[in-house]
């Protein structure tokens, strides 16, 4: 009888220690996850889309990026229509179909889209969301005229 009580006490002690350790591990992981989410959100505003030296640099925070030569742009259109889903059509957003787009860029030759963890994919049509879409289209068209 005494042996049974002693065994139960040892089991409860081990269970309590394990619960405390698990709680600490989960707390640390939660804090780390919050820091990661905060960093990703900040990266969205710190890595904007830009046009420099004849290149269009497209960035979606830390998730994806691509550089397109302005001379390689065949056309740009403002569109929210769904784009064909094939090997040469990509979205800048890693959320793909879960995030809408309002600009579609068509290229003369394929370019490379660099994603998270070094993943790459080629595209000739790129769909993306831009806050000031009309201004963005005018800037691309002006850059295209300067290339000609």
9-13, 63-67, 134-138: which range is least confident on average?
9-13
Strand partners, 44: none
| Segment (H or E) for 124 | strand 120-128
pTM, 2 dp? 0.73
Give the separation between CA 112 and CA 79, rounded to whole angstroms: 22
Give the separation between CA 101 and CA 35, rounded to whole angstroms: 28
- Which pLDDT value is given to residue 49? 87
Confidence band, pLDDT 50/70/90 cuts, at residue 26: confident
């Amino acid at each position: 009888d005494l042996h049974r009580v002693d065994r139960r006490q040892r089991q409860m002690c081990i269970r309590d220690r394990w619960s405390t350790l698990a709680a600490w591990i989960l707390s640390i992981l939660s804090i780390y996850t919050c820091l990661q989410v905060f960093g990703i959100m900040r990266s969205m505003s710190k890595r904007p889309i830009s046009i420099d030296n004849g290149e269009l640099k497209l960035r979606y925070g830390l998730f994806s990026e691509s550089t397109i030569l302005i001379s390689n742009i065949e056309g740009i259109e403002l569109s929210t229509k769904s784009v064909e889903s094939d090997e040469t059509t990509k979205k800048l957003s890693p959320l793909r179909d879960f995030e809408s787009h309002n600009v579609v860029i068509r290229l003369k030759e394929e370019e490379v889209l660099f994603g998270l963890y070094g993943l790459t994919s080629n595209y000739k049509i790129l769909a993306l969301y831009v806050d000031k879409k009309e201004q963005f289209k005018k800037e691309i068209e002006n850059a295209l005229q300067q290339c000609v």
